[in-house]
Structure 1
Amino acid sequence: MNGQIILVALIIIGLIGRSPIISTAACILLVIKLVALDRYLPAIERRGLELGLLFLTFSVLVPFASGRIETKHIVQALTSWPGILALAGGAIATYVNGKGLEMLKFDPQLIVGLVVGSIIGIVFFRGIPVGPLMAAGLTAILFKIFSFIAGRF
């Protein structure tokens, strides 16, 4: 019952904050709970992130598949300053994501803070919840910085 109340609260928060992603996700999970399909929740939890990342990657790769981005555009982009910075950003992001995954394995209860923080970011800052691993990675970086600063005092 507690989980259902939280889901209803998330639906309301999503509606008030004009976040259809939160509202829709909470609605779907509430329906799954109410029609007694709870046995699928572990699979959704385990594979949901992968499925979401798969669809996100689809949307990013569509310009390649549709032919809107050609080889000459790729060469031009990778030899320009913004392109080089994008390469560096992509490499750094994957490194940070890896650190976030390590941190979640080490301290899995952090997921509660990541979820609540993501909801706050979505509702109040109009953010988009595409990076739980990035959120964990940023948490790992903040943890290192905090540990370094706290260790000095």
Structure 2
Amino acid sequence: MFYKVVIFFLIIISFVTKNKNLSIAAFVIFVVSLINNQKSIYFIEKYFLDIGMIFLMMWMLVPLIKAENSLTPNIKSLLNLNGLVSFIVGVAVVMLAAQGVSFLKGSVDVLTGVILGSIIGVALLGGVPVGPLIASGIAYEIVRLINAIFKN
């Protein structure tokens, strides 16, 4: 029962903070919890991470097929500071994420901490729980740091 109250509270917080992604996710999970269909819960637990990753990868690949973008200018953009740092951070983040997935699967306390931290970060602090955006944020900070060092 307690988890239903927590999920309902998340729905309210997500509406107040106008976080539509968390609102939809929490609402769907709340409905699934009311139905209490173990097959649905198992399906979500087993497949939704992969399904979400597929949609995320599709979103990331769209620029390759857009008419106004061609692959050549995109490859050339790797030769500047922003492109090079973003490329390196992108590779590093996906390698870390791969380790993180296995770490999460083997440890309940880590899973609980990551879930609660992510929920608080998304619901209350305006965060976005997606790896490529995290990588671009890290790349941004590194580029900003490099620019600050070499401008002085």
Give the TM-score normalised by the residue count of structure 2. Answer: 0.76
Tell me, yes or no, if the aligned pair for 1:32 and 1:38 is still in contact at 8 Å.
Answer: no
Relative contact order: is structure 1 or structure 2 higher (C-alpha 8 Å, sep ≥ 6)? Answer: 2
1:2 aligns to what? 2
Q: Quick one: structure 1 residues 62 and 45, their matched pair in 2 at CA, closer, same or farther if it must change by over 3 Å?
A: same
Tell me, yes or no, if the aligned pair for 2:64 and 2:71 is still in contact at 8 Å.
Answer: no
2:17 aligns to what? 17
Aligned residues: 132
Letter in 1 for 2:111: I
Structure 2: 5+ residue runs without aligned partners?
Answer: 135-152
1:42 aligns to what? 42
1:127 aligns to what? 127
Deviation at 1:25, TM superposition (A): 0.8
Deviation at 1:36, TM superposition (A): 4.1
1:78 aligns to what? 78
Percent same amino acid at aligned positions?
27
Deviation at 1:101, TM superposition (A): 2.1
SS of structure 2 residue aligned to 1:128: coil
Structure 1: 5+ residue runs without aligned partners?
Answer: 135-153
- Superposed, 1:33-112 pairs within 5 Å as 33-112=33-112
CA RMSD of aligned residues (A): 1.9
Separation (CA, whole Å) in 2 of partners of 1:81 and 1:63: 20
SS of structure 1 residue aligned to 2:18: coil
Q: Quick one: structure 1 residues 105 and 28, their matched pair in 2 at CA, closer, same or farther if it must change by over 3 Å?
A: closer
Separation (CA, whole Å) in 1 of partners of 2:75 and 2:5: 52
Moved over 6 A (4+): none
Deviation at 1:55, TM superposition (A): 1.0
Give the TM-score normalised by the residue count of structure 1. Answer: 0.75
Separation (CA, whole Å) in 2 of partners of 1:120 and 1:4: 17
Separation (CA, whole Å) in 2 of partners of 1:102 and 1:127: 23
Separation (CA, whole Å) in 2 of partners of 1:95 and 1:17: 32
